[in-house]
Amino acid sequence: MINKNLSSNKGVTLIALVTTIIVLMFIIGITWVYSGEMANNSQNKAQMDELKMVQGAILQVKTKYDLTGKSLPGSQYTSIDDIKQITDEIERMSEEEINLKDTNPQNYYLLTVSDLDKIGVRNLEDEYIVNYLTGEVINITKKVTKDKQALYIYIIK
């Protein structure tokens, strides 16, 4: 009797095996696409959070330096045209309209990695143009995120 049952069991059919493989490939494909999208979104969010962190730091520095009379960190930009060229390039790359909130070039500063380190913002590798009055921050190293969002923010007043 045991011998008869073993001989009648023919195992997994070819159709069941192919169906299982197709379902597994479908699940793997969805997981792969979704995980790549999640990684992109987290990287974009990290870049925007970095902009906000720099913005917060420059506004604190502005307040502190106003009280102490020290000169602001960074090197002043000499021409508003240079900044407009950068924002035009960002607009072209991101298709977002960027209007500078201030047209006085003396209010715009270039902050290098060492300048950022001096104001307490560490472990960043990008350079920024900032305006201490309007809170504008432009990441001039990367310019846009992977999903083409402009790496430019300002304070809405």
Flag whether the pTM goes above 0.85: no
Q: How many domains does the chain have?
A: 1
Where on the phi/psi map is residue 97: left (φ > 0), alpha (ψ -120 to 50), or beta?
Answer: beta
The residue segments making up the domain with residue 131 are: 2-153
Check residue 9 and give its pLDDT: 59
Tens digit of each residue's pLDDT, the chain (157 residues): 455 555 565 667 888 888 889 999 988 888 887 777 777 778 888 888 898 999 999 888 888 887 787 888 889 887 888 999 999 999 999 888 888 998 888 889 999 999 998 888 888 899 999 998 899 999 999 999 888 889 998 886 5
Check residue 10 and give its pLDDT: 65
Cβ contacts of 148 within 8 Å, gap of 6 or more: 93, 94, 95
User: Cβ(143)–Cβ(151) under 8 Å?
Assistant: yes
Check residue 120 and give its pLDDT: 86
d(CA 107, CA 148): 27
d(CA 157, CA 154): 9
